[in-house]
Amino acid sequence: QVQLVESGGGLVQAGGSLRLACASSGPFFRNYAMGWFRQAPGKEREFVTAISWTRSNTYYADSVKGRFTIFRDNTKNTVYLQMDSLKPEDTAVYYCAAGRYAAARDMNNRDPEYWGQGTQVTVSS
């Protein structure tokens, strides 16, 4: 069973930065990927970004390209989400996720198997 624990959420002013972390525990199986979703108040959950453990490729939603960066630390089994130039519309609960994917972009097409509990990110005007 894969367990995911998020950290790093908080309150930041528009234009600022935050870094989220997602620590994971095994098993780590073939075609494994981790990523991030978010859900704003009154809106549906949306895909943000993902990284493939198999090929180390990444994929980003258009709304965060150029502002958000996903990267991993294999020694800690941790994935990070660096968020820069934050906007009020980025305010949401951010969820770490993991599942069986051959490529990072596939997480945008099929929901992951495993989810963290979420961490709140609030961007003030």
Q: Which residues, other chains included, contact 70 with Cβ-Cβ below 8 Å and sequence gap of 6+? A: 35, 36, 49, 50, 51, 58, 60, 79, 80, 81, 82
Placement of tokens 């972390």 in the chain: 21
Residue 27: predicted pLDDT:
63
Instruction: Give the angle subtended at the CA of 90 by the CAs of 104 and 116, to the nearest 5°.
Output: 55
Residue 2: predicted pLDDT:
86
Distance CA 3, CA 56 (A): 20
Residue 118: predicted pLDDT:
97
Residue 34: predicted pLDDT:
94
pLDDT digits (tens, 9 = 90+) for 90-99: 999 999 999 9
On whether the CB atoms of residues 5 and 77 are closer than 8 A, the answer is no
pLDDT digits (tens, 9 = 90+) for 45-79: 999 999 998 777 999 999 999 999 999 987 888 99
Residue 42 or 29, more confident? 42
